[in-house]
Amino acid sequence: MSKKLYLARSPRVAARKLGEEMLVMSGQGSMLFTLNPTATILWQAADGATPLDEIVERRICSEFEVKPEEAMRDAETLAEDLAKHGILLISEQPIAGQQIANSDAPAQERQQL
Amino acid sequence: MPGLAAQVERYSVVIAIGGVPVRVNTADPDFLEMLQDRYAGFVSANAEAEFDFDVDLAPATFANPDADVSVMQRSGRWFMERGDFRAEWNPATRSGIIHQSANPYSIDAVLRIVHTLVLARQGGFLLHSASAIRNGKAFLFAGVSGAGKTTISRLAPADATLLTDEISYVRKRRQDDGYVAFGTPFTGELAKLGENTSAPVAALYLLAQGPENRIDPLAEADAGRELLANMLFFAEDQEMVHWAFQAACDFVHHVPVYRLTFVPDARVWELIG
């Protein structure tokens, strides 16, 4: 049996739903992302406490016609991708608020004016 | 007994952009005169200022104004640097210092940065856009270099008041969800200072040149993406990113945003206002 995965929103990004699209802006390099519907579900459900398999079962399988195993594989890949871009935090343990805060780091900025 | 150090005469000018008066102090009367000329129309007769900057003029050893701007916050103070200047600003004491040579470009960049930082916390922003007032309403025309900001400014009819052909100043109104655009002295190719006046923002147009004049509404998310691409803000400061992002999202939620495709002649203004 595979390990549980927990997701939390990175405090280093800002997010907002405009119309039907979820926009996320990362503090790292001010990259702007538009989340697809599945990524939007993961983002909205990423509370640090709900395991990914539960999110997939309750939110993704009910929304899209997809087999649970396939949905889980895709969701893991997507979550890892979002984590690589600094949008989500992933852990095999529930992620507490303090851990989320500690993932934050001092920032500098550089921009052409 | 005479003092050990001679007293240095200080000259000051208050430059008010977007209703925010900034006093610039210098020991050089020629530099003061240059500032008064450069910011004519934005020099305030009122001696009151929200922020004070001392300019420490150095020989022209600084170079390369085209280098990247670096803006960092440490211990509540902002440090700004480019090839041609170094500056420090403490919002708590409302004062700062600028090290630069006697040229108008360095202080212009510092003022843009400071206004961006001030506006960000108030839901406002500086935008790469031309703007003008017509029939009591302000219209913004955003786009990258070459999109047509200078062209649309040059084609403005006599009854339009040009606020800027390059960098627009947008402030959120406190009493409601509306926005106000102010004139700026930040010029583009037109090299003409904007009028120091303001009006409520009626619309933002994203410029594109094409075979016919037409206006197409933009979906909120498209408008947000385009607005963010044209805003001046400081990329890797987490707090600034949050402020700028929320400001852009709020703006496109409350102000209509359109794609304005236009043929470069005066008829395009028949669609505006």
A42 domain residue, yes or no: yes
Using CB atoms, pick whichever of A18, A109, A111 lies closest to residue B249: A18
**Mean pLDDT over all residues of chain A?**
85
Nearest to B182 by CA among B190, B174, B167: B167
Q: CA of B266, closest CA in chain A: separation in Å?
A: 30
Label residue B75 exposed, middle or buried (CB < 10 Å: 0-12, 13-18, 19+): exposed
Residue type, A65: E
Specify the CATH number for the domain of residue A84: 3.90.930.60
Gap between the Cα atoms of A111 and B234, Å rounded: 6
Mutate to test the interface with B, among A25, A33, A87 (most CBs of B within 10 A): A25
Q: Which residues from chain A sit within 8 angstroms of residue B253, using beta carbons?
A: 18
pLDDT tens, chain B, 273 aa long = 555 566 678 899 999 999 999 999 999 999 999 999 999 999 998 779 999 999 999 887 666 767 788 898 989 999 999 989 999 999 999 999 999 999 999 999 999 999 999 999 899 999 999 999 999 999 999 988 888 999 999 999 999 999 999 999 999 998 888 999 999 999 877 778 899 999 999 999 999 999 999 999 999 999 999 999 999 976 567 888 889 999 999 999 999 999 999 999 999 999 997
Please report the DSSP string for B149-167 in residue order.
HHHHHHT--TT-EEEESSE
Q: Cβ–Cβ of A110/B71 closer than 8 Å?
A: yes
Q: Which residues from chain B sit within 8 angstroms of residue A19, using beta carbons?
A: 219-221
Nearest to A110 by CA among B118, B113, B230, B242: B113
Q: Which domain holds residue A27?
A: 6-93
A111 domain residue, yes or no: no
Q: Which residues from chain A sit within 8 angstroms of residue B68, using beta carbons?
A: 110-112
A98 domain residue, yes or no: no
A108 Cβ under 8 Å from any chain B Cβ: yes
Looking at chain A from residue 20 to 49, which residues have their Cβ under 8 Å from any Cβ of chain B?
Answer: 20-21, 23, 25-30, 32, 34
Gap between the Cα atoms of B4 and B220, Å rounded: 65
Instruction: Write the ipTM.
Output: 0.81
A67 domain residue, yes or no: yes
A60 domain residue, yes or no: yes
Look at chain A and report how many structural domains it folds into.
Answer: 1
Gap between the Cα atoms of B41 and B19, Å rounded: 13
Say if CB B102 and CB B89 are below 8 A apart.
Answer: no
Q: Cβ–Cβ of A23/B253 closer than 8 Å?
A: no
A31 domain residue, yes or no: yes
Alpha-carbon separation of residue B162 from A18, B190, B229, B271 (angstroms):
31, 11, 23, 17
Higher pLDDT, B50 or A112: B50
A41 domain residue, yes or no: yes
Q: Cβ–Cβ of B237/A12 closer than 8 Å?
A: no
DSSP-based three-state secondary structure for B176: coil
In chain B the domains, ranked by start, together with CATH numbers, are 11-120 (no CATH), 125-271 (3.40.50)
Given a cut of 90, whether residue A77 has pLDDT beyond it is yes
Given a cut of 50, whether residue A105 has pLDDT beyond it is no
Residue-wise burial string across B129-163, b where 16 or more C-beta atoms lie within 10 A, e elsewhere:
bbbbbbeeebbbbbbeeebbbbbbbbbbeeebbbb
A108 domain residue, yes or no: no
Q: Cβ–Cβ of B246/A14 closer than 8 Å?
A: yes
